[in-house]
Amino acid sequence: MSEPLYCQVERNIRTYIEDMDLEPGDVLPTEQEFIKKLNVSRSTLRHALNNLQSNGLISKQQGRGTFVTEPYYEENLTRLTSFTEDSRNKGQTPTSIVITNQLIVPSDQIAKDLHIGQGDRVFCLERIRMIDGIPIQISLSYLPAKRLNNIDLTSVDFTSMSLYQLLESSNIIISSALETIEATISTPRDQALLDLPPNSPILVNRRKVFNEHNELIEIAQARSRGTHHQVKIKLRR
Amino acid sequence: MSEPLYCQVERNIRTYIEDMDLEPGDVLPTEQEFIKKLNVSRSTLRHALNNLQSNGLISKQQGRGTFVTEPYYEENLTRLTSFTEDSRNKGQTPTSIVITNQLIVPSDQIAKDLHIGQGDRVFCLERIRMIDGIPIQISLSYLPAKRLNNIDLTSVDFTSMSLYQLLESSNIIISSALETIEATISTPRDQALLDLPPNSPILVNRRKVFNEHNELIEIAQARSRGTHHQVKIKLRR
DNA sequence: CTGATTTAATGGTATTGACAACAAACGTTA
DNA sequence: TAACGTTTGTTGTCAATACCATTAAATCAG
C-alpha cells in the first residue's frame, strides 16, 4: 500500500490550517465536518488528529472542539541536539532570520571564554529561530575561526540550515557540551524580536560546545519564550 | 464515569510486566493473548499499548511482536540529585519549611499521572527549600503510598531531611527521571513564599521519578527563583 | 432579571470485522 | 546444500456503529 490514509489526512489538515490562515487559538472544523470534507471514517480522522495533538499542533477539548495550539519548542537534552533537528523531529518547520553573520575581532571577554588569543578572529552568528513562522528563540553564537577547518560561515545562508549539521558535514566533531539554564524577564529587545508583551518570562540557555579534543568550538546563548519552550531531560541516578 | 477501560488495561499490563519479571528486550504476549487474558476488544488493548509505547515502556514491531523497551543508557549524564544533596556538595546548609505533609485522596489528574487507581492514597509534600536561611525554591511532591514500602512520610520531619535519601534508606530504588523546565512569572503566592518582588522570573521544573521497575514513585514540581538558580547539564552528542 | 434545567453539539470510549504489511519459519526444488 | 516460494503468525490500517461525558447555549420557572 502507499502512504497510510491517516498520514495523508494529517497532511491535509496541516495544509488546511495553513491555507485557511488559522492562528493559534482558532477553532478547527468538528470531527463530523472533517469526516465529510475528507471522506474518511471517524477512527482514521481521530488517528490523524491524535498524531497532530502529540506533535503539538492542535489540542482537543471535550465538549468544545479542536483548536490550533500555540507552537512551542521542546528541547531534548538527553542528547546534544540543535533547534533545527529537534523541531524537524517533531514534524515542525524551523526557519531563521539571520540578524548577524560576521567575522569579528572578539572582545576580551569572548576571547577569554573561548580560550583563544587576542588576534584570533571569531564568527558571530545571531538568529531569530522560528517555528511555523512564529518567533521562538534568539540565538547568539560565537565560534573561533581557527577551529572550524577553514569554513567560511559568512557565506552560508542559515535561513533553513542547521549550524551543527553544517559543522559535522565539514568533519568537525561535536563531542560534548556544558549547558546552564536560568529564567529571567524579557528585555525590550527580547520583546521586539520575539513579539512579546512586557514582563514576559524568558528562558536563558548558555552553552559551551567542545570538539573531540575538548577544545571550545562554540559559546552560545539562547533566549527563548519561557512559556512556549520546554527543556526535557532524562536523568539517571 | 469511572476510570476508562484502556487505563485499567494499561495498569494491568504494567503489573504483568513486573509480576512476570520481564526484562528489557523480552517479548510480551501477543495482542490476541492479551485480548483473551484481559477480556477486552482489540482496539481497547491497542489504545493501552500505544500509550505504553509513547510512555517509553514498550516498543512494537510489525510482524514480530511487542517488546519491553531497552532502558535508556547514557554515560556522563548529569546525575539525578536532590536539592539537599546538591546544596551540601557545595558546602551550603539546606533547610526546609514544611507547608504540607499529608496522606490525601488524589485528584483524578494526579491519579492518572501517577498511573494508580481511584482508591489509592497519595502523600502530598510541599516544602520551602532554603539555603543559609534564604528561601530559594517551593517544591511540591506527590508520591503514591502503595509504592513506598509502607513508609509513613507524614511522621517524618523534613526540616533537614532529604526525601531521596530517606527513600533509598528504605530500600526504594530511585532509578531514573524525566524532567522538563520552563520559565514563568511569579504568582503572588510565589512572591510571598520566596520573598520576591512582583514580576520576577520563576524557573519551573517538573519531574517524574521512576523506580527500577519503571513505576512512577514521584511527580514533583519545583518553582525556583529564576536568577538565583541555575541548572547545569553536561551533554554528549 | 436570575438561576436552574434542558437540549444540542462535540469529543471520548468501546466493540466488531476485514484486510494489508511484515517477519520468521517451513518446504520444495534445482 | 542453496535458493526460492509458501505458510503462519504478528502488528498495522481502515471502517461502521453505538453509546458516554463534557461543554455551552437555549429554554423555562420563579
Tens digits of residue pLDDT in A165-202: 898 888 888 877 777 788 899 999 999 999 999 989 99
Contact A203 B183 (CB under 8 A): yes
Put simply, the chain A residues between 195 and 214 with a CB less than 8 A from any chain B CB are: 199-203
Distance B126 CA to D3 C1' (A): 69
pLDDT band for A2, please (50, 70, 90 cuts).
low
Contacts 24+ apart (CB under 8 A), A215-218: A215/A115, A215/A147, A216/A113, A216/A114, A216/A115, A216/A144, A216/A147, A217/A143, A217/A144, A217/A147, A217/A148, A217/A167, A217/A172, A217/A174, A218/A141, A218/A142, A218/A143
Residues B35-52: pLDDT tens digits?
A: 999 999 999 999 999 988
Cα separation, A139 vs A202, in Å, equals 13
- State the residue for C-alpha cell 559535522: A168
- Characterize B128-161 residue by residue with b for buried, 16 or more Cβ atoms within 10 angstroms of its Cβ, and e for exposed: bbbbeeebbbbbebbbbbebbeebebeeeebeee
* H/E segment holding residue A44: helix A42-54
State how far residue B104 is from chain A, nearest Cα, in angstroms: 28
**What pLDDT does residue B72 have?**
44
Least confident of A35-44, A226-235, B190-199: A226-235
Nucleotide nearest residue A39, measured CA to C1'? D15
Q: What is the mean pLDDT of residues B186-202?
A: 92
State how far residue A37 is from chain B, nearest Cα, in angstroms: 25
Q: What secondary structure letter does DSSP report for A22? A: P
Contact A184 B74 (CB under 8 A): no
Composition of chain B by helix, strand, coil, percent to 5: 30, 35, 35
- Chain B contact set for A179 (CB, 8 A): 232-235
- Chain B contact set for A182 (CB, 8 A): 203, 226-227, 229-231
Residues B151-165: pLDDT tens digits?
A: 999 999 999 888 988
Cα separation, A194 vs A131, in Å, equals 12
DSSP string over A130-158: EETTEEEEEEEEEEEGGGTTT--GGGS-T
Distance A119 CA to D20 C1' (A): 73
Least confident of A64-68, A206-210, A229-233, B111-115: A229-233
Task: Decide which of A71 and B31 is more confident.
Answer: B31
Determine what percent of chain B is predicted with pLDDT higher than 90. 38
Retrieve residue A116's grid coordinates. 583563544
Contact B231 A182 (CB under 8 A): yes
> Which residues lie across from B208 on neighbouring strands?
B178, B219
* Claim: this prediction has a pTM higher than 0.85: no
**What pLDDT does residue B73 have?**
35
* Short-list A211, A179, A172, CA closest to A77: A179
